[in-house]
Amino acid sequence: MTKQQLFEQIQKKRSFLCVGLDSSLDKIPEHLLKYENPILEFNKQIIDATKDLCVAYKPNTAFYECYGKKGWETLTETWKYIPQDIFSIADAKRGDIGNTSAMYAETFFNEKSSEMSFDSVTVAPYMGSDSVTPFLTFKDKWVILLALTSNAGHADFQLLETGADKLFERVLKTSQEWATDEQMMYVVGATRGAAFGDVRKLAPNHFLLVPGVGAQGGDLKEVCKYGLNSQCGLLINSSRGIIYAGKGKDFAEKAREEALKLQQEMEQILVKADLV
């Protein structure tokens, strides 16, 4: 999917919501356990209930890989179930020496070999250019590079002074030599609200994937105050806050209610910013 196509979806749906499919057997409603593949059934019902309210889905691969062969099959079938016009994110946080990254890119982007072709994959920048560039050889596919993450541990490395700037700022600057804003997005945690101004100074036109709204307590309004750009430029992710909003048979309706609340907030923000 291109940047323009993503923006068009945002305008059409009046939403920049990404629903995180961090689905695990110990958290999904009990009545689903009778299905042959309970997590797939859960994901399908969540997707059916939210697909008109969001523009992206983000399965975090850890929640699938932990179930071995069956988990990988669930990830593949979940990708197949995500409607084509919704941006799909393999949240795999990969990155390795070049030839290994090339195989990771095949895994998530080459449908012929892996039966999956996500629009994007999350990548850690720590190993540098050759660990990231193999993901950029696929047309209309995206790298979502970790910049300033939502977790407490972000301060251990990302805020270190490198001389002229902090490490996450160096990531934002240097990685722009590898790809344009048509192929690269950045992860900036919603819990880092105050830093969005600094991020936008360095990456004014990039889309930012923003996790941390909902269960981690990030503030949507604060993020949008500094994070919004002329093509919206934000994908706001909520995983647990949406998918586990209900614990019973009405879990999909409850998920929809939570997604709707966020979508309505986003609509107001888009209208106010004159983007729809």
Ligand X SMILES: O=C(O)c1cc(=O)[nH]c(=O)n1[C@@H]1O[C@H](COP(=O)(O)O)[C@@H](O)[C@H]1O
Q: Considering only the stretches 128-136, 207-215, 225-233, 266-274, report the one whose residues sit in contact with ligand X under the rule CB under 6 A.
A: 207-215
Q: Which amino acid is at 9?
A: Q
Strand ranges in 80-193 using DSSP code E only, listed in sequence order = 87-94, 120-123, 142-148, 184-188
First to last CA, the chain: 20
Quote the least distance from Cβ 192 to ligand X, whole Å: 9
* Binding of ligand X by 169 (CB under 6 A): no
Q: Per CB under 6 A, does 50 bind ligand X?
A: no
The dihedral formed by the CA atoms of 46, 47, 51 and 53, expressed in degrees to the nearest 10: 30
CB of 190 to ligand X, least distance (A): 8
Question: Closer CB to ligand X, residue 19 or residue 270?
Answer: 19
Residue among 149, 158, 183, 231 that touches ligand X (CB under 6 A): 149
> In this chain, which stretch among 25-33, 74-82, 199-207, 237-245 interacts with ligand X, using CB under 6 A?
237-245
Answer for the pair 226, 197: CB distance below 8 angstroms, yes or no.
yes
Q: Which is nearer to ligand X, 50 or 149 (by Cβ)?
A: 149
Smallest CA-to-CA distance from 237 within 269, 211, 207, 266 is with 211
H/E stretch holding 58: strand 56-58
The amino acid present at 88, given as its one-letter code, is: S
In three-state secondary structure terms, 190 is helix
Measured CA to CA in angstroms, residue 122 lies from 125, 208, 225 at distances of 10, 12, 25
Q: How far is the CB of 271 from ligand X (least distance, A)?
A: 25
Q: Is 270 in the site for ligand X (CB under 6 A)?
A: no
Q: Smallest distance from the beta carbon of 180 to ligand X, in angstroms?
A: 21
Residue 59 touching ligand X (CB under 6 A): no
9 CB-side CA count, 13 A: 24
Which one, 40 or 123, has the nearer CB to ligand X?
123
Q: What DSSP state is assigned to residue 88? A: E
The yes or no reply on residue 155 touching ligand X (CB under 6 A) is no
Do residues 233 and 207 lie in contact, with contact meaning Cβ atoms separated by under 8 Å?
yes
Q: Is 95 near ligand X (CB under 6 A)?
A: no
Active site residue 93: yes
Q: Which of 38, 95, 193, 214 binds ligand X (CB under 6 A)?
A: 214
Question: Within positions 106 to 125, which residues make up the interface with ligand X, using CB under 6 A?
Answer: 122
Query: Which is closer to ligand X, CB of 231 or CB of 239?
Result: 239
Residue with tokens 């919501």: 17
User: Which of the 8 DSSP states describes residue 110?
Assistant: -
215 touches ligand X (CB under 6 A)? yes
The least CB distance from residue 40 to ligand X, in Å, is 18
Q: Provide the 8-state DSSP code for 73.
A: H
Catalytic residue among 27, 44, 93, 261: 93
Provide the annotated active-site residues: 93
Interface residues with ligand X (CB under 6 A) are 20, 22, 60, 91, 122, 149-151, 187, 189, 211-212, 214-216, 237-241
